[in-house]
Structure 1
Amino acid sequence: MNKRRISLPVQILMALILGIAVGLVCFFTGMADFTTSYLKPFGTIFVNLLKFIVVPVVLLSMIDGIVSMDDMKKVGSVGVKTMAYFLVTTAVACVIGLIFANIFNSAGLFPTLSLEEGAVWDKPTTANFMDTLIGIFPSNMWDAFVRADMLQVIVIALFLGGAILAAGEKGHLCRDMVSSANEVINRLMEFIISLSPIGVFTMMAWVVATQGAEILGHLALVLLCAYLGYAVHALLVYSLSARAFAGMNPIRFFQGASAAMIFAFTSTSSAATLPVSKECAAELGADDDIASFVLPLGATVNMDGTAIYQCVATVFLATCAGVHLSMGQMATIVVTATLASIGTAGVSGAGMIMLAMVLTAMGIDVNLIMIIYGVDRLFDMGRTCLNVTGDIACSVCVTKWERDKAEKSAGAAK
């Protein structure tokens, strides 16, 4: 008899619930050290595997997506539409985040917290846009791979993919090598993903056991504010764009994207969710070559959830520091958070680094970031889920735009 296998999303959800339960038991029985010594190491191994696979997945899948289009004009067309979609939705996300943060702040719902004594955060060296722009272009390809600088990796993929297309017949060997290597990496990625229930269980048990109900109690309102922003953005922006641009029922869209949303919520890594996102995008009707281009790009530059988180966290930390933000400063937050979100790597916890950049730009003490650092993973779960949902929505919309463009071109040619 064939045994019915439990699906991976269900396994992950069960691991999440079990991890929380075990963490609470360990917290209330004073056994938090047990989770740190014997459970967290397995979670760390899983996270290390995710970090190990991120660079080759993004590099190879993007190059393969570019060369599979067989047309530089299509690459440019898809790229412009994709970036326009990401920039607009990220700016809207910032506005939504600021609206909810100010509502909570005006109602006096943000508690006043004090910085933990001795807490230190390494401040970013710069928030200068031009320095960031220069840093996007690598001077050493291998150094970009070693440091996992995802923006540089994307630039490398764009250049190599474009060069392979430009080489024509002489570039066929490179094209075949990329396609083969991408398939191998995808199989390796599937194996690593199959281990995700173990990673989710061990990491959640450790987080809950060490942080406990005390931190969750202090920051419950801030978490609620952020998650309200996440929910409103998903329901309004993504469902409306799916309906308006792709003619898709919002319920159908969220059903099709649910597997990737669950995996992103538990893994907190947009890049690690790429294989699941591709399957969801294909189920929703996105073209494979467009999804192979849009999804890896979105895993690095589309950070709507991160933008909402940065805005909420900035207002909250400013309140903790007794700083009143003016409308001009709010506008600065929108611009800075949008640019910072575009530079956020699609790996777990990267949003904290970008938050430090936003706080520096606003002149707020970066050491205050330690107030929410302990529960960043709880923020990260929601914002990563939203980021991945946006990537899938973009791939569906761009596919529809490209199909409409192709139909118009075909009609004009008759």
Structure 2
Amino acid sequence: MSKHRSSVRNAIKENLMLVLTITAVIVGISLGLALRSVNLSPLALQLINFPGEIFMQVLKMMVLPLIFTSVISSLGQMDSGNAGKMGLMTVAYYATTAVISSAVGIFFVTMMQPGASIAHSPVKNSLTTGDVEPIDTFLDLLRNMFPDNIFKATFQRVSTIYEHNGTEITKHVVDGPGTNILGVLVFCTFFGLVAAKLGERVRIVIDLFIALDEIIMGWIMTLMWFAPIGIISLISGNLLEVEDLAGTFSTLAMYVLTVLLGLFTHILIVTPSLYFLLTRKSPLPVYKVMLQPFMIAFGTASSGAALPTSIACLEEHGIDSRIANFVPPLGNTINVDGNALYEAAAVIFIAQLNNIHLTFANVITISLTATLASMGSGSVPAGLVTMVLILNTVGLPVKDLALIVTVDWLVDRIRTAINVMGDGFATCIIAHNVDIDLKEEDGYKSIAVMPNTEEV
């Protein structure tokens, strides 16, 4: 009963936050449009943008603590003794679908070019330093994934620079300013996996990160109540700086269409195709079973609010209770297919707005960063922290997030519902492949049943 009341309170808070966010968007748009007819001074524009600037800075401040606590605590809580193969397959499946979903988002935003019609700056060649070759950018990506010093990775990242000495070009791999997000994520991932394997011997460490994660998330949730102020500032300030307002809204409509096409392609084509390949079963029953939690997730924009219903529906479908109680809760944290797709598409959309040409290596960086960052902090409201993280990683301007915020509240409901539907498919796939192995590994069911059978 207490859990039910808690979920109800959380749902009310989520809806209230949604109302405040929508109100802030409306106020920000109205204020921005109303002030466009006024010839504001540069100082006035600076003051209007200032609350949004502070809000974004605080979000940036929370990135590293969130990654360390959420990734290590979520992976460290995996019971390797009971989960075993199930845990590894679940993480591998979610990682695979997240990579695929980000690739789908990149494909649609690249093909449809929703941000190409308006531009804030002259065309740039790439995000790399100088004339860095794609292979060097890719090698830098791998170097950053495995930093030689985890503390240095929090404020420096590796990059290849070119020195031109007459006709000779010399390459140097140097440490430059900027947070090495990929290195931090890889370190936290292995830390959490090893902690899970050691289990009770390091329980005090896992409990510490769980407690820290609750503190950080509590801080972020408190911060999100101030988000409407930041949103009003960001949207109104951005509208005041946009020259072609009609083109901007037209582009946003095209952007939403692009993201929705990617999301529905993923859940209606990619996910059921994977399900059929791995189980040789029709995906239609899964859609039917997960319809109720899908609608709850769409109505509340919260995968957590739909979690109890997801577990109950899957158990009624005949899924082993141990699997039904393991995969969806884990997926609630690391299944971020919708987020990975949305964030990868949004980053490239922002690059298009600024006429920045992305190399193939840049796109790979965006895809991997969107996937890893989303899995590490999938529970952050509106995905603002991870969006800031990805933009900083590839060197794109954070300011244009204000445009994304204007439509995020709508897209968020759809991508959350798709994440919940994806949890249902993942649970059924894992159940099909590890149900028997799980029972044999745990042993308690077969040991309890077999002696009774012999006595009879």
Establish whether TM, by shorter chain, passes 0.5: yes
Aligned to 2:294: 253
One-letter amino acid of the counterpart of residue 407, structure 1: D
One-letter amino acid of the counterpart of residue 294, structure 2: F
Deviations 1:42-62 (A, max 9, x none): 222222222222222222122
Judging changes above 3 Å, is the alpha-carbon distance between structure 1 residues 197 and 281 closer, same or farther for their aligned structure 2 residues? farther
Ranges in structure 1 where 5+ consecutive residues have no aligned partner? 261-275, 322-328, 357-368
Judge conservation of contact 2:263–2:338 (CA < 8 Å) in 1. Answer: no
- 1:94 counterpart = 2:103: no
Separation in 2, partners of 1:336, 1:15: 34
Judge conservation of contact 2:77–2:196 (CA < 8 Å) in 1. Answer: no
Match of 1:229 among 237, 258, 263: 258
Q: Secondary structure at the match of 1:173?
A: helix
Judge conservation of contact 2:121–2:354 (CA < 8 Å) in 1. Answer: no
Judge conservation of contact 1:78–1:402 (CA < 8 Å) in 2. Answer: yes
Aligned to 2:381: none
Pairs within 5 Å for 1:161-240? 161-211=192-242, 214-238=243-267
Aligned to 1:401: 429
Q: Secondary structure at the match of 2:147?
A: coil
Judge conservation of contact 1:300–1:343 (CA < 8 Å) in 2. Answer: no
Aligned to 2:128: 124
Tell me how far 1:288 sits from its aligned partner.
7.8
Tell me how far 1:380 sits from its aligned partner.
6.7
Match of 2:342 among 280, 300, 305: 305
- 1:347 counterpart = 2:386: yes
Judge conservation of contact 1:16–1:204 (CA < 8 Å) in 2. Answer: yes
Judge conservation of contact 1:300–1:342 (CA < 8 Å) in 2. Answer: no
Judging changes above 3 Å, is the alpha-carbon distance between structure 1 residues 352 and 87 closer, same or farther for their aligned structure 2 residues? same
Aligned to 1:17: 26
Separation in 2, partners of 1:255, 1:144: 40
**Segment drifting more, 174-183 vs 137-146:** 137-146
**Segment drifting more, 130-139 vs 305-314:** 305-314
Higher helix share: 1
Judge conservation of contact 2:94–2:331 (CA < 8 Å) in 1. Answer: yes
Judge conservation of contact 1:18–1:201 (CA < 8 Å) in 2. Answer: yes
- 1:134 counterpart = 2:138: no
Judge conservation of contact 1:225–1:312 (CA < 8 Å) in 2. Answer: no
Alignment identity in percent? 16
Tell me how far 1:397 sits from its aligned partner.
3.6
Deviations 1:255-277 (A, max 9, x none): 404554xxxxxxxxxxxxxxx65
Judge conservation of contact 1:19–1:202 (CA < 8 Å) in 2. Answer: yes
Tell me how far 1:12 sits from its aligned partner.
0.9
Tell me how far 1:315 sits from its aligned partner.
8.1
Tell me how far 1:96 sits from its aligned partner.
2.9
One-letter amino acid of the counterpart of residue 92, structure 1: V
Tell me how far 1:132 sits from its aligned partner.
0.8
One-letter amino acid of the counterpart of residue 197, structure 1: P
Tell me how far 1:133 sits from its aligned partner.
1.8
One-letter amino acid of the counterpart of residue 209, structure 1: L
- 1:378 counterpart = 2:403: yes
Judging changes above 3 Å, is the alpha-carbon distance between structure 1 residues 183 and 316 closer, same or farther for their aligned structure 2 residues? closer
Separation in 2, partners of 1:189, 1:349: 14
Separation in 2, partners of 1:17, 1:186: 27
Q: Secondary structure at the match of 1:140?
A: coil
Judge conservation of contact 2:72–2:209 (CA < 8 Å) in 1. Answer: yes
Judge conservation of contact 2:90–2:430 (CA < 8 Å) in 1. Answer: yes
Match of 2:71 among 44, 62, 66: 62
Judge conservation of contact 1:93–1:308 (CA < 8 Å) in 2. Answer: yes
Aligned to 2:167: none
Judging changes above 3 Å, is the alpha-carbon distance between structure 1 residues 388 and 172 closer, same or farther for their aligned structure 2 residues? same
Separation in 1, partners of 2:186, 2:207: 21
Separation in 2, partners of 1:32, 1:236: 46
Tell me how far 1:19 sits from its aligned partner.
0.9
Judging changes above 3 Å, is the alpha-carbon distance between structure 1 residues 52 and 294 closer, same or farther for their aligned structure 2 residues? farther
Separation in 1, partners of 2:254, 2:349: 7
Deviations 1:239-267 (A, max 9, x none): 5648659435568525404554xxxxxxx
Judging changes above 3 Å, is the alpha-carbon distance between structure 1 residues 169 and 295 closer, same or farther for their aligned structure 2 residues? closer
Structure whose alpha-carbon radius of gyration is higher:
2
Higher strand share: 2
Deviations 1:298-344 (A, max 9, x none): 679963234445667788988x99xxxxxxx9xx96x8635532224
Pairs within 5 Å for 1:17-56? 17-31=26-40, 33=42, 36-56=45-65
Tell me how far 1:81 sits from its aligned partner.
0.3
Separation in 1, partners of 2:49, 2:72: 35
Separation in 2, partners of 1:244, 1:299: 22
